[in-house]
Chains A and B, each alone.
Chain A
């Protein structure tokens, strides 16, 4: 019977449910990567400020996410945040909030690094021809910085996608939770279901992350020369 365990994956209903779960995961990842990148650019620009206390605040904000695991943040928000603010947030909302905050911090660091790596004369020349702050960033600095930050940003996206697997632990019905339900459901019929279902989810994540990290490496090789 063991060799037939894979039939758990040939069940149309199971596959459809897994894909529905995947949509939830994808939604969380997509929204938080999108908002995180946009806010991250803003944060990165703020981060290049001359005033030291502004930079310190940005730094502390980033380190909070670097030192304390994301899973702990999910916990703090899910159990503590909702109680403290006396609001009822779903696990999905909490996940999006935490991932967005984290993405913003990391993206801010990437953008800051890219902006700082641009030669100073770019800023000065821009100012010399009379560009304002907005024009300077819009036409001179950001377009040049994009090249330098894109590989890092794509890497960050894969990290965020991988981390979305944690949302199952705060009660979101994502692809893993659906997988667990299928395993429970077919426990008697197909005892080896867990092997195949988890294997399938494993491959799903790989199929998304592998092309992205390949792309990031390709861009890095191409532009670093």
Chain B
């Protein structure tokens, strides 16, 4: 299905179009990361409707738009977004592969302090894996950590 010309259309309207017209895509990828020594490992689960948008192309804004909005929100005098137009007016991303979509999602939904320095330090702070590589039961879920013995692929 051809994506309509969406630049200038509110992102929410685009997502409603996608929900109506695209088949959700359940990704097997999961991103495991640790952002606090006081908390267990977290697992990022891609949304199937969002993944369908990423694979389709022409719907989602570039990830830097979210970073700009996050910068605005981090200002002490922030009241309300005044640059929301970036979500709607910026040229949408072309179709991504599933792997590219996961990289985009990492940069959107995982703290920058994690993904910018994921492999610095004594052990990795973030790992992309398949769902079946997670422990098969949720036993001791709140004690899950990324293994020290992990062999990292380039």
A and B interact physically: no
Binding site for A on B (CB under 8 A): none
Binding site for B on A (CB under 8 A): none
